[in-house]
Structure 1
Amino acid sequence: MASSSSSSSSLSISLCSSTFVSQQEFNLFHKIDRQLYTILVINIGRDPMEALQIMAFWLWLERVGFRHVVYRMLQLPVLLINELADEALTALTCIVSDNPPPSSDDYNNSIPLTQNFMKKEISLQFLYANRQIAMEGITKILNEVCFRAMRDIMLNAISHRKIPSSVSVPLPPPPPPLSFRSFDIMMDEGDQVPPEERAMFVTFSKGYPVQEWEVRDFFTINYGDCIEHFQMQEVEPNEQSLFARIVFRSASTIGLILGGQPRMKFTINGKHIWARKFIPKHPPSPQPPTAAVAAVQLQSPPFYP
């Protein structure tokens, strides 16, 4: 089965190698994932961002041992795929909940189609017990695989919707929630949000020089034409820049990159970079003049141009 992420090993290859392949190659690798996502947002008409999270959940299940989920799901009738998507939302709600599901058998079996389809034991109790691992894994797949592999389909689906896209189930790693906003809103943010609110600070490891073009390519490949301004640390010749400041066209891009975390680590061509939201340093408030300075100022003659 070529060009799929239907096993945990192939998904791992995708996560590790996403910065080394072209967008066309990346899409080809995730061909069947894109086919299933297209069914969700085009054939069925589900919310594009919600469907993106559903795909991340199913791909995470593949990664933790539920084999060939996407491939097998493509063999099902569209009506049944939609029912499984509804149960995926139930599972996601359980994963992000602070309250455990009731212990009643009826509630534990509220994802019966999923349990039957997976052919392995899976329940809301199981998902809740492993919610920390699930949230981290699903969010990672959402940001590093789904958004890149399905972005064109998602934007096309959003553009054809009569109402803005919304997210019904957030998938953050705790504590801060990860909130997604519709891309038709995000595209107009640049003119309304000041640059310092759309800026990110990235740092590099000493001894592993990172070039500006590498960082630009990384974010452009993964998040599209998102950079408005890029400022690398100015250094002497033969010295290494250790940080850079990036202003994005949309403040929402920072949320997508950081995935709800205050700091995120990425690998670019084998070199690590760390990213966080840029926090501007405000100048200290001016202090009142001392008595001596005030006296001099009062005695100084006025200046007439």
Structure 2
Amino acid sequence: MDASSSFSITQEELNLFHQIDRRLYTILVMNLWRDPVESIQVMALWLWLERVGFYDVVHRMLALPYALVNELADEAVTCLNIISNNNDQHAASSSSEANEIPLTQNFMRKDISIPFFHEHRLLATQGISRVMNEVCIRALSDIMQEAVRRNAAQKTADSQTMMPNPLQQSVFLPQLVVGQHEIWGSPEPRMVPPGVPPEDRTMFVTFSKGYPVTESEVREFFTRSHGDCIESFHMQEVHQPQDQALFAKIVFKSAASIDKILNGMSKVKFAINGKHVWARKFVPKSPRPNLPTPTPMPMQVPIQFGTQFPFGF
């Protein structure tokens, strides 16, 4: 979407025009609790991709599960790091890992890879900065301001909750709040009894476009290497027979199994029957309680690519 116009429009009209963009940004910062400044850069990247021919990115992303949106945002951050890195040797090394953004490759309707961002780094820097100024600052800054205030209030509340009370003998634990939206079904109660909760024993795997992988193939691969280690397996649901699952969530019986599989790496790549599979530890980002909004202090938030803007824009 392009907010540029030869006539003046109100802020309300601008927000209405960019309501789809605002919905996706809200999911990133309010539902997934992602960093508001980083997320506004992610939005600028996705909107720039729409301008250069990757059509309908934001609209289609709204139909995805929150977990998948979160993973796509992580891959977008990887792309932003490539774009902003001026070290040619590091960029060249990174560009050799053309499959570091498998979900993005699967999601986009045109070919895209890490080398694409390295080769078009200058064009991307200029284009993303322009989108930041024309769209993101004007149409998303109020949501960003709200998220920053909410996060600051939550941080204060967390510190107060965890502070021991000398007048009481009991231990204060953070309250578990079930939000309206859940990433992976209903959350498990965080009980004190021994045992590692499922979210700490879960791995997120993604599959390569054009090479569909079945649940039985993945199960066999891990059980052959690590024994009877899988507690549950959740493959992405597909609605058409010809559609390919893009990811799966695997809950292991022991967190040690994930440590052995990752072997100290944040992400590893396997070949299962000649098909590439990427694995990483699943990091859930659950909704938190709504908190009173404190009075904001005047500040500036630096934006990558040299853009700065104050709250109250």
TM-score, normalised to structure 1's length?
A: 0.50
Higher relative contact order (CA 8 A, sep 6+): 2
